[in-house]
Every structure is written in C-alpha cells, then in structure tokens.
C-alpha cells in the first residue's frame, strides 16, 4: 500500500496564479484532511471531508477550495495564490475509528512569489 500520496511535492507560483494540490489514499479511509504547516505555528486545518460527498471548513479556509472527488481523492485548490499561502501542505486521512489516527502524505512545499 502506498498510503497517502500527494502531488506535486514542490511548486513555485507567482501571485495571482492558480493551482491544485492532489491527494489520494488507498487505505479505504472515510475522512480526509488538508493541513498547512508554517514555522512556529504547528499544523492548521484548512478543510476536511468526513466522508465522500461532504466537505467542511477548518481553522484557516480563506483562499482555498476543496473537492472530494471520490472516496480515495481529495484535492485542494488555490484560485488566486498570495504570498501568505507560502507553506508546506499536508494531506491526511483517517478511518472512522475511535482513535482517529491521521496518516499523512509526504507534504507539498508551495512558494508564492
């Protein structure tokens, strides 16, 4: 099993450009998440999807949109990138269990110039 796979691993954008981060999991998990990681601020939840067909805002949703394409895939879109969106983005998934352990992808480093 590959676990959680996200692409691309690195991306440089100019202010105002758009892009989509792709995420797929092969663990048959119901819930999927997008986090951003900034120095000194830990991991902050952008959006999550409790199950196929549902999405909800997290702590920092402004400037982002998401699509839960099917049970396996959850994409994050930046419509008009801003320098404040320079960050490392992690996709994660979890099963519908009591523990809720998150399995993370390898991360995508995005730089907005």
Partner 1 sequence: GENVEQHPSTLSVQEGDSAVIKCTYSDSASNYFPWYKQELGKRPQLIIDIRSNVGEKKDQRIAVTLNKTAKHFSLHITETQPEDSAVYFCAASVTSGSARQLTFGSGTQLTVLP
DSSP states of 2-57 as a string? --EEEE-SEEEE-TT--EEEEEEE-S--SEEEEEEE-TTS-EEEEEEESSTT--EE
**Other beta carbons within 10 Å of 43:** 16
Q: Which of 85, 87, 94, 108 binds partner 1 (CB under 8 A)?
A: 94
- Over the window 4 to 43, marking each residue x when it contacts partner 1 by CB under 8 A and - when it does not, the resulting string is --------------------------xx--------xxxx
**Which segment (19-27, 56-64, 65-73, 77-85) binds partner 1 by CB under 8 A?**
56-64
Q: Judged by CB under 8 A, does residue 51 bind partner 1?
A: yes
């Amino acid at each position: 099993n590959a676990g959680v796979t996200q692409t691309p691993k690195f991306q440089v954008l100019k202010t105002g450009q758009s892009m989509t981060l792709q995420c797929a999991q092969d663990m048959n998990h119901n819930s999927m998440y997008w986090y951003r990681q900034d120095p000194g601020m830990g991991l902050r939840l952008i959006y999550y999807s409790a199950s196929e067909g549902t999405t909800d805002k997290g702590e920092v949703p402004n400037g982002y949109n998401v699509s839960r394409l099917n049970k396996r895939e959850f994409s994050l879109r930046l419509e008009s990138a801003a320098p404040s969106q320079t960050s490392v983005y992690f996709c994660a998934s979890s099963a519908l269990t009591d523990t809720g352990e998150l399995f993370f992808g390898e991360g995508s480093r995005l730089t907005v110039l």
